[in-house]
Amino acid sequence: MTDMSIEEFNTQIYSCKKCRLWQGAKHGVPGEGPLAAKVMFVGQNPGADEDELGRPFVGRSGKYLTKTLGEYGIKREDVFITNIVKHISPENRKPFDDEIRTCLPYLIAQ
């Protein structure tokens, strides 16, 4: 993490306009979980449910992830969950390389 607080960092993601994806999104979706987690799950990009709620992995993929973690005795609260790209993409398409490059500093900082 950088010198800023997690709240400041998340605010940057919520309001990010560094690439074109913000135009079709309600807001950016930061990661969540303990910053010192030993395990990090990284998804492709937020979906509609994540865009609506501003939280990662709360839709169908999130339910599947939470269920699968539980099957291995891992609590969702014990892992850090985020996405490579911080905004929903049109029709939930795979992010373009330039969108990934734009968001990569956020992922590295997380």
Q: What is the pTM of this model?
A: 0.89
Report yes or no on 1 lying in a domain.
no
**Domain interval for residue 82:** 6-109
pLDDT digits (tens, 9 = 90+) for 46-72: 999 999 999 999 999 999 999 999 999
Tell me the CATH number at 78.
3.40.470.10
Domains identified in the chain, total number: 1
pLDDT digits (tens, 9 = 90+) for 35-44: 999 999 999 9
Q: Does residue 25 contact residue 91 with C-beta atoms inside 8 Å?
A: no
Report yes or no on 74 lying in a domain.
yes
Report yes or no on 54 lying in a domain.
yes
Report yes or no on 90 lying in a domain.
yes
Please return the burial class of 89, using the count of CB atoms within 10 Å of its CB with bins 0-12, 13-18 and 19+.
buried
